[in-house]
Amino acid sequence: MLLEDYKLTPEVQEILDVHEALWNKESTVQYRGVTATVYRPNHEGYCSVILPGSDGASYQWITQNMNKSSYGTSRIIRARAQGEDHRITWIIDNTEAKFTYIGRIESIRYPDGKYDATIDRYSGDLSYVYYTTNSLYKNKKSLY
């Protein structure tokens, strides 16, 4: 898919708005006509919210836990050291007592003001890029 094939639709904008609201530690978010309260633990390592999916199920959206040592956390810390604002939000299916990653939203705001965002959706061992502004991006698990 070419970069110009990815459109900033109202649905994509709404996804990015929730992602940014979580990282900005807002107390509520709006998604698909629902106002949901954001959960912030006392340690403030992450923020999360339960939101409806298009299939009628509810999914947890959770920011990268900055108190947890992981590849995502180290990428964010490294970006901050370079003056970039790097953010990762995970979408989790936790129905039936599962914890399955079904999506990821990643954004980077560069020191020059440029903004890149990518939304991936996961299905089993595969994923696809739902939206991106980064012409070089290719997910390791992608269908390409």
At 44-78, the pLDDT tens digits run: 999 999 999 888 889 999 999 999 999 999 999 99
Q: Mean pLDDT score of the chain, rounded to an integer? A: 89
In which band, very low, low, confident or very high, does the pLDDT at 143 lie, cut at 50, 70 and 90?
very low
Domains in the chain: how many in total?
1
> Nearest Cα to 46, choosing from 62, 29, 70?
62
Q: Model-level pTM?
A: 0.89
At 12-22, the pLDDT tens digits run: 999 999 999 99
pLDDT of residue 144: 37
In a domain, 10, yes or no: yes
pLDDT of residue 38: 98
pLDDT of residue 107: 95
In a domain, 115, yes or no: yes
Q: Once rounded to an integer, what is the mean pLDDT over residues 119-132?
A: 88
Q: Once rounded to an integer, what is the mean pLDDT over residues 102-108?
A: 95
Measured CA to CA, the distance from residue 34 to residue 30 in angstroms comes to 6
Q: Is 76 exposed, middle or buried (0-12, 13-18, 19+ CB in 10 A)?
A: buried
Render the burial of 25-40: b for 16+ CB within 10 Å, e for the rest: ebeebebeeeebebeb
Q: Once rounded to an integer, what is the mean pLDDT over residues 113-127?
A: 90
What tokens appear for 39 in the block?
């959960």
Which amino acid is residue 112, in one-letter code?
D
In a domain, 107, yes or no: yes
In a domain, 57, yes or no: yes
In a domain, 144, yes or no: no
> Nearest Cα to 40, choosing from 27, 59, 58?
27
pLDDT of residue 55: 85
In a domain, 125, yes or no: yes
Helix (H, G, I), strand (E, B) or coil at 71: helix
Q: What are phi and psi of 4, to 5 degrees?
A: -70, -10
Measured CA to CA, the distance from residue 28 to residue 70 in angstroms comes to 27
In a domain, 65, yes or no: yes
In a domain, 59, yes or no: yes
In which band, very low, low, confident or very high, does the pLDDT at 5 lie, cut at 50, 70 and 90?
low
